[in-house]
Chains A and B, each alone.
Chain A
Amino acid sequence: MLNSLYEFFKPHLLPLLFAAVIVAVLPLLAGYVVLLERKVMADMQARLGPMRVGPHGLLQPIADALKLLLKEDIIPENADKWIFWLAPLLSVTAAMLAMAAIPFGPFFQIANLNVGLLFILGVGSMGIFGIVLGGWASNSHYSLLGALRSSAQLVSYETAAGMAVVSGVLLGGTLNTRGLVEAQARGHVWFVFLAPVGFFLYLVASIAETNRAPFDMPEAESELVAGYMTEYSGFRWALYFLAEYTNMIVVASIATTLFLGGWLRPFSSWHKADFLDYVPMLLMLLVAGYSLYRAPKQPISVQKMFMVAVAGLCLLLAVILGLPQFAPAGSMFVAMKPGVHGAFWFLLKVGTYLYLFLWLRFTFPRYRFDQLMKLGWHLLIPVSIVNVFSLGIALYLHRSAAEGGYGWGMWSSIAVTTVFTLLIAAWLLRKSEQPPATPAVDSF
């Protein structure tokens, strides 16, 4: 009896383990992405950021989480209790569920769905419910308007994001996330070089999808309409926040999988560049060395120990990353290599994409809501449709029958169609262009 139960569950044990790891690690990861954002924001603003809690503020997310957990739980008076409770839960569930189909490495994936990419997009669109219901359940006119605005923005940019994803899927030939990375491996080229317009469209659309600046008018509109999150305090708000940052990670993962080669090392099939395999280990050693260097400079002994612990962790990671390089061939460690190194490269690319998000937030002012909608409907959707259309024509004309054939014909037709798409985009931009910033000042 027990044996048959075990047999029944056996294929699901590893995914369950991965799921447990992701659900356990994700809130911590999202918290540290928040800390990273604050540090990067401070760096760009010529200041330091959180420094007090833990060395260099490294324990700040934990302090914030504790504080939010211990806060008083306030529910507005006439609010619908069940929906008030449900809304943040929906957002977080949708965001975390999307992590199920993301390939962190060749073997580290919870569910290798045949429609993996579409699954992630679909589950992401369920997160919109969390926003709309949250705004409604707050029983505040302004929260409702803010929620409706936010979800209108999300729905508008979903089309553009979907079309941009389609252009990547055209190149990959499958919706299976693992298959997409393998297609990039077979073709020896990341899809970002084949479909750069699609990548940039996805970049812009994903910023709008996650309500980040410069598209964060519904959130940051403290001018008049407070966002849907106003009435949420304490841990409920933390759940919304967690959902937002998890969405950012999900969106970065989609872009990485589809356009940036997933878990592949740069130049993954060029064996002359095999020295790049030493990069992960060296990077971890560098971080460990820096932590050890800063450890004696910390004022309090607890902080010193913390830095030493961080250094120890990085050393451990360096060992894990470096072992496959030095172990004898055929041993267990070499078999581990694609998985471990793959996860490293994946996370590095996701981190780069997230850094781009952060960078854009602190550089640009905000779009006004009608300008935001105009950009989505009048620019992004037409260009994404034209992009799919022209990429389809290019592929139809020159895709060789053999798998992975990216010959000169293919490259030239893709180049031509990319130029065509960019011309359309430029034409659309010229129609809506602001008059050039002539030097507006005379002097007397």
Chain B
Amino acid sequence: MLFDKIAFYFFGGLAVISAILVVTRRNAVHSAIFLVTALLATAGIFLQLHAEFLFIVQVILYVGGIMVLFVFVIMLVNLDVAIRQIQFNRMWLVALLLTVALGAQVYMVFHYAHTGMKEPLFTLPARPASALEPNTERIGLALFSDYMLPFEIASILLLVAMIGAVVMAKRKV
């Protein structure tokens, strides 16, 4: 229980700090590295929730796949221009207002989840997480039985994206 709390606050704090650093760094590659850290921290939170499959898939796909491609593109593009630009937008007042509004909404959601409403917004599982069945098998079964259609649609979407990328990038030889 204590370990859970420590793990959560550690990963959560790491995620928040990394996210802040992503948007405040001048150097795009530094931002990318902090994004990797943020994603790894998110994966850690998944692990702390005993969602092991989600944890490892997050690492493989997001960190090992998507972020690698991000970093590729960043490195192939000229960075000098970006470094010298002013990092902060002129519309910072609007951004501040929006942040306050969003924060207030999130706070209200959590507040009313504990008090007032008849049913809490988030139901916690009946059993502690450590007594759940092995994660991978359950996800596999669910994907191929209850959620078969979304799964197939997602695969076709990815296939279309891949074909589109190849067609656009292919040079007329």
Contact = CB atoms under 8 A, between A and B. Distances in A.
Tell whether any CB of A sits under 8 Å from a CB of B in the complex.
yes
B71 A115 contact: no
Interface in A74-88: 80, 82-83, 86
The interface residues of chain A, by DSSP majority, are classed as helix
Given A8-B3, A132-B71, A144-B75, A126 B136 contact: no
Interface in B47-104: 52-53, 55-57, 59-60, 63-65, 67-68, 71-72, 75-76
Given A80-B29, A129-B36, A136-B29, A115 B59 contact: no
A132 B64 CA distance: 12
B59 A126 contact: yes
Interface string B120-149: 000000000000001110000000000000
Contacts of B33: 83, 86, 133
B60 A122 contact: yes
A114 interface: yes
Given A8-B2, A122-B56, A129 B68 contact: yes
A123 B59 contact: yes
Nearest to A119: B56
B60 A125 contact: yes
Contact of B134 (A114, A119, A133, A158): A114
A27 B128 CA distance: 40
A128 interface: yes
Interface string A265-277: 0000000000000
A148 B72 CA distance: 7
B27 interface: yes
Given A114-B52, A115-B52, A118-B56, A151 B29 contact: no
Contacts of A128: 64, 68
How big is chain B's contact interface, by range?
Answer: 20 to 34
Contact of B135 (A82, A114, A133, A151): A114
Contacts of B67: 129
| B30, B64, B67, most chain A CB atoms within 10 A | B64
A126 B71 CA distance: 13
A424 interface: no
Contacts of B136: 114-115, 118, 175
B75 A113 contact: no
A21 to B, nearest CB: 24
A60 B85 CA distance: 52
Contact of A133 (B27, B29, B53): B29
Interface in A84-128: 86, 113-115, 118-119, 121-123, 125-126, 128
A80 B27 contact: yes
A155 interface: yes
15 contacts: A83-B29, A115-B56, A118-B60, A122-B60, A122-B64, A125-B59, A126-B59, A128-B64, A129-B36, A132-B72, A136-B29, A148-B72, A148-B75, A151-B72, A155-B68
Given A83-B30, A119-B56, A136-B29, 14 more contacts: A113-B52, A114-B52, A115-B56, A118-B60, A122-B57, A125-B60, A126-B59, A128-B64, A132-B72, A133-B33, A136-B75, A144-B75, A148-B75, A151-B72
Interface of A: 8, 80, 82-83, 86, 113-115, 118-119, 121-123, 125-126, 128-129, 132-133, 136, 144, 148, 151, 155, 158, 175
